[in-house]
Amino acid sequence: MRKYDAIVVYTKEQAIADGILFQSQERYQDRNIIFTTNLIAKLKKKEIIAVLIKGLKEFAKLKKPDLKEMKVSGREIWIDDNGQDLTFLLPEDY
């Protein structure tokens, strides 16, 4: 396998500062809760709450950090658990 050097690194902190990500002040099981601003813009408030509730239930089933897919109000939502953050996003945000 060839080793490659990164050309560009875009950190979570930069994405938050740029308005791409929104980090909640709340944490869940030692993880930050993050939403893409695209997801926030495309869902109604009650749908965002449903995403969070269902997402935390799905997260509880994970044995290790992973990407989980779920449906809320007919929309596909992804939860990315990287071991530090739970990021809720739409597939197009990836």
pTM of the model: 0.86
Q: Is residue 13 included in any domain, yes or no?
A: no
Q: Is residue 6 included in any domain, yes or no?
A: no
Range of the domain at 61: 31-93
Q: Number of folded domains in the chain?
A: 1
Q: Is residue 21 included in any domain, yes or no?
A: no
Inter-CA distances, 32 with 35, 49, 88, Å: 10, 16, 11
Q: Is residue 1 included in any domain, yes or no?
A: no
Q: Is residue 20 included in any domain, yes or no?
A: no
Tell me the pLDDT tens digit for each residue of 26-60. Answer: 999 999 999 999 999 999 999 999 999 999 998 88
Q: Is residue 18 included in any domain, yes or no?
A: no
Q: Is pLDDT above 80 for 65? A: yes
Burial readout 40-59 (b: 16 or more C-beta within 10 A, e: otherwise): eeebeeebbeebbeebeebb
Q: Is residue 63 included in any domain, yes or no?
A: yes
Do 72 and 90 touch, CB atoms closer than 8 A?
A: no
Phi, psi of 4 (to 5 degrees): -120, 145
Amino acid 77: pLDDT: 96
Q: How confident is the model at residue 64 (pLDDT cuts 50, 70, 90)?
A: confident
